[in-house]
């Protein structure tokens, strides 16, 4: 049995990015950029107005007051998208936000400080020279590096890509993640229950959704019975995937065939089996493919074990494969309400906790039943409280580290 930290290290050392692809902007959100993005022009491309008002020469409004306003002839108009116009001494141009600063003008007086009569503008106070002008290149200049390769694309980055005229961009591919559900007792959703011992799958679709959240492409390979023939056949369907996830059948039971068969059918080289963690102890990990570029995770069947193993071990690998640099869930410190006790301290334990943000920091409330078959604990939880090796008791209010897998507890409330 290896330590959790060592297991994660082995996984990430064996994880490579999947390659690049070109996507259109409307499909780029959340993807990881694989090229540097430079500005094709200055932005703004020319000096323009930040206000609606009048473009003037500062000379002409110097010393203007309520009693002795500057009076200028209006001889032109500059609106956003319009032509470049000119002002001469003693004249002004109507200007609108985004309009080009006319030749000869050096200041924009906002409309509120003016009055118009008979095609003349009255300006009742002096303002600073250069006021309300947004300079050419004030946001960025042609040739500036705007977004570096490796950035995860958010709405702001997509806006920049569009404004520098990139309809398509290179991003890292998303790994295809095959999910094979094993076990004689497992039924797919929609199948009729015929025997008391049968159970309906949760893992297939909880893992499917976790793959989506992690930014991979989930592929349901199917369900296999605990027979050599069926296991072999279904595993052969996994060949086109970058990552194979199996659930169930990795423990020590007579019918736990997965580990041996992934080696036989896909040539998986198992790099570890069993980790000093709870839940998720019997997890297996290996590499396969021509250049050992593909990954295999044998995920334990217990529904909570499956989700915990995914968040802590599979998700970082998917994120690394799709080019992300920050691959782990956030970890915070929280006060554990009611404390926690256990008999043995041999394994690092991940307990399901609901989180709350208070004025005194984060508070974690453990779910009452911590069994690795209790999926409702995951519905309750936002994070995994870490009970370290050697620790058998955490007192009420003591701080523990919590891995956050769901940040929704930080969202704002309508009634707040």
In sequence order, what are the residues at sequence separation of 6 or more whose Cβ sits closer than 8 angstroms to the Cβ of residue 214?
A: 314, 315, 318, 319
* Binding flag, residue 202, ligand LQZAQKY5 (CB under 6 A): yes
- Binding ligand LQZAQKY5 (rule: CB under 6 A), the pick from 14, 48, 107, 372 is 372
* Binding flag, residue 15, ligand LQZAQKY5 (CB under 6 A): no
211 or 250, CB closer to ligand LQZAQKY5?
A: 250
123 or 283, CB closer to ligand LQZAQKY5?
A: 283
Q: How far is the CB of 382 from ligand LQZAQKY5 (least distance, A)?
A: 22
Residue 183: contacted member of ligand MOO, ligand LQZAQKY5, none (CB under 5 to 8 Å, by partner type): ligand LQZAQKY5
What 3-state class would DSSP assign to 317? Answer: helix
Inter-residue contact 37 to 340 (CB < 8 Å): no
280 or 385, CB closer to ligand MOO?
A: 280
Other CB atoms within 10 A of residue 235 CB: 25
* Binding flag, residue 204, ligand LQZAQKY5 (CB under 6 A): yes
Residues in contact with ligand LQZAQKY5, shown as a per-residue x/- string from 150 to 189 under the rule CB under 6 A = -------------------------------x-x-xx---
Task: Encode 57-69: b = buried (16+ Cβ within 10 Å), e = exposed.
Answer: bbebbeebeeeeb
- Sign of torsion, CA 364 370 372 376? negative
Inter-residue contact 1 to 284 (CB < 8 Å): no
Which segment (142-150, 236-244, 302-310, 322-330) binds ligand LQZAQKY5 by CB under 6 A?
302-310
Q: Can you tell me the distance from the alpha carbon of 171 to that of 33, in angstroms, rounded to the nearest whole number?
A: 4
Residues 380-399 that bind ligand LQZAQKY5 (CB under 6 A): none
Residue 249: contacted member of ligand MOO, ligand LQZAQKY5, none (CB under 5 to 8 Å, by partner type): ligand LQZAQKY5
* Binding flag, residue 300, ligand MOO (CB under 6 A): yes
Q: If residue 163 lies in a helix (H) or strand (E), which one and from where to where? A: helix 155-163
* Binding flag, residue 280, ligand MOO (CB under 6 A): yes
* Binding flag, residue 305, ligand MOO (CB under 6 A): yes
Q: Can you tell me the distance from the alpha carbon of 352 to that of 381, in angstroms, rounded to the nearest whole number?
A: 6
Q: How far is the CB of 364 from ligand MOO (least distance, A)?
A: 20
- Binding ligand LQZAQKY5 (rule: CB under 6 A), the pick from 48, 210, 247, 312 is 247
Nearest to 316 by CA among 7, 47, 38: 7
Other CB atoms within 10 A of residue 386 CB: 19
Number of residues this chain uses to bind ligand MOO (CB under 6 A): 9
| 107-110, strands of its sheet edge to edge | 107-110, 53-56, 91-95, 70-78, 120-123, 114-117
Q: How far is the CB of 253 from ligand MOO (least distance, A)?
A: 13
CA–chain centroid gap for 248, Å, is 29
Tokens of 74: 């209006």
Q: How far is the CB of 194 from ligand LQZAQKY5 (least distance, A)?
A: 16
* Binding flag, residue 281, ligand MOO (CB under 6 A): yes
Nearest to 322 by CA among 179, 181, 412, 214: 214
Residues in contact with ligand LQZAQKY5, shown as a per-residue x/- string from 51 to 80 under the rule CB under 6 A = ------------------------------
Residues 350-409 that bind ligand MOO (CB under 6 A): 372
218 or 303, CB closer to ligand LQZAQKY5?
A: 303
Dihedral angle of Cα 183, 187, 193, 197, to the nearest 10 degrees: 20
Scanning 248-405, the segments in alpha helix (DSSP H) are: 258-266, 303-309, 315-321, 376-380
Binding site residues, ligand MOO, CB under 6 A = 278-282, 300, 302, 305, 372
């Amino acid at each position: 049995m290896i330590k959790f930290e060592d297991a994660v290290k082995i996984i990430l050392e064996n994880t490579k990015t999947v390659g690049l692809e070109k996507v259109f902007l409307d499909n780029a959100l959340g993807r990881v950029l694989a090229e540097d993005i430079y500005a094709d022009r200055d932005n703004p491309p020319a000096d323009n107005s930040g206000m609606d008002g009048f473009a003037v020469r500062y000379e002409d409004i110097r010393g203007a007051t309520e009693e002795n306003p500057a009076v200028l002839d209006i001889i032109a108009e500059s609106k956003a998208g319009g032509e470049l116009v000119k002002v001469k001494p003693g004249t002004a141009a109507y200007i609108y936000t985004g309009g080009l600063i006319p030749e000869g003008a050096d200041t924009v007086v906002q409309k509120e400080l003016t009055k118009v009569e008979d095609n003349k503008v009255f300006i009742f106070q002096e303002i600073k020279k250069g006021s309300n002008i947004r300079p050419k290149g004030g946001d960025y200049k042609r040739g500036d590096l705007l977004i570096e390769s490796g950035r995860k694309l958010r709405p702001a980055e997509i806006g920049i890509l569009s404004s520098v005229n990139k309809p398509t961009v290179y991003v890292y591919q998303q790994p295809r993640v095959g999910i094979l559900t094993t076990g004689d007792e497992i039924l797919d959703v929609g199948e009729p229950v015929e025997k008391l011992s049968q159970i309906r799958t949760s893992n297939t679709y909880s893992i499917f959704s976790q793959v989506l959240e992690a930014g991979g492409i989930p592929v349901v390979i199917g369900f296999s019975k605990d027979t050599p023939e069926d296991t072999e056949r279904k595993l052969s369907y996994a060949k086109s995937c970058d990552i194979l996830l199996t659930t169930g059948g990795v423990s020590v039971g007579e019918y736990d065939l997965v580990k041996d068969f992934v080696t036989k059918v896909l040539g998986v080289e198992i790099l570890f089996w069993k980790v000093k963690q709870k839940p998720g102890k019997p997890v297996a990990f290996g590499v396969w493919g021509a250049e050992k570029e593909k990954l295999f995770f044998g995920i334990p069947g217990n529904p909570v074990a499956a989700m915990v193993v995914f968040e802590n071990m599979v998700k970082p690998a998917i994120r690394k494969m799709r080019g992300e640099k920050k691959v782990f869930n956030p970890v915070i410190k929280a006060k554990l309400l009611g404390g926690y006790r256990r008999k043995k301290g041999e394994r690092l334990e991940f307990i399901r906790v609901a989180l709350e943000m208070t004025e005194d920091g984060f508070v974690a409330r453990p779910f009452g039943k911590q069994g690795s078959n209790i999926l409702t604990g995951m519905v309750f939880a936002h994070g995994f409280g870490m009970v370290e090796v050697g620790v058998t008791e955490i007192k009420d209010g003591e701080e523990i580290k919590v891995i956050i897998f769901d940040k929704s507890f930080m969202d704002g409330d309508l009634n707040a």
